[in-house]
Amino acid sequence: MIVVSNTSPLTNLAAIGQFDLLHRLYGEILIPDGVWAELNAYDKIWPGRNEVETSPWIKRLSVQDRALVTTLRRDLDQGEAESIALALDLQADLILLDEMEARHAAQRLGLSVLGVVGILLHAKSKREIEHARPYLEALRQTAGFYLSDTLIQAALEQPAKPDSESLNFSQRKVHIREVRGFEPSAPTDPPSQADFVIIGVFLFCQEYRANWVVCL
């Protein structure tokens, strides 16, 4: 299984002491150079930086399609753009992303996406952790990851596995001229109430026929 990760899942899992879940669930994790750069940004040691450096199951690779990275950088940060481009380069089975705009872009390019909440639910389904709720609470309280009570409850009620209906790579190849002309949708204004986030997640999942865990 080929799994590519952006920065956020690495930092958030490290912040709550569950970095090794990635190895137990997926074996080897691949990251682009842009993610490593973000983990070292501003001369600060961010959560996950040391774990990435010392874990032999984390591999750092350079993205080949720089034109795609340039296109994606119109709307995404460097780590997100390089992670998506690397996942396409490698025909990855899964990309780990948390930010909605980046997930939107990845799914429009045919990638199967999982976020940190989905990783925790997957871990529970595989009995790598006994309960997901304490770690969801830790994400909120320790890592500073936004999760409302409503969203936590909704997540816990969903199936804990990646989208089984995701297209395989042979069905989702994109011609280079289509990729280079790709523009993710413009970001929308933030909801007026925090819990409206769950509505946006629902509409996103509905549009792409993905289950909750893929979106989370």
Indicate which CATH number applies to the domain containing 38.
3.40.50.1010
Which pLDDT score, from 0 to 100, does residue 183 have?
A: 37
Overall average pLDDT of the 136-152 stretch? 86
Which pLDDT score, from 0 to 100, does residue 159 have?
A: 57
Which pLDDT score, from 0 to 100, does residue 10 have?
A: 96
Largest CA distance in the chain: 47
DSSP letters, 68-126, are HHHHHTTTS-HHHHHHHHHHHHTT-SEEE---HHHHHHHHHTT--EE-HHHHHHHHHHT
Q: At 21, is the pLDDT very low, low, confident or very high (cuts 50, 70, 90)?
A: very high
Overall average pLDDT of the 17-31 stretch? 97
pLDDT of 212 > 70? The answer is: no
pLDDT of 191 > 70? The answer is: no
Percent of the chain with pLDDT over 70: 73
How far apart CA 107 and CA 171 sit, in angstroms, is 13
Of 156 and 176, the one with more pLDDT:
156
Among 11-15, 31-35, 69-73, 169-173, which is the least confidently predicted range? 169-173
Which pLDDT score, from 0 to 100, does residue 182 have?
A: 35
Tally the domains of the chain.
1
Q: Which domain holds residue 51?
A: 3-215
Q: Does the pTM of the predicted model rise above 0.75?
A: no
pLDDT of 151 > 90? The answer is: no
Q: At 44, is the pLDDT very low, low, confident or very high (cuts 50, 70, 90)?
A: confident
Helices (H) then strands (E): counts for the chain:
13, 5
pLDDT of 164 > 60? The answer is: no
pLDDT of 125 > 80? The answer is: yes
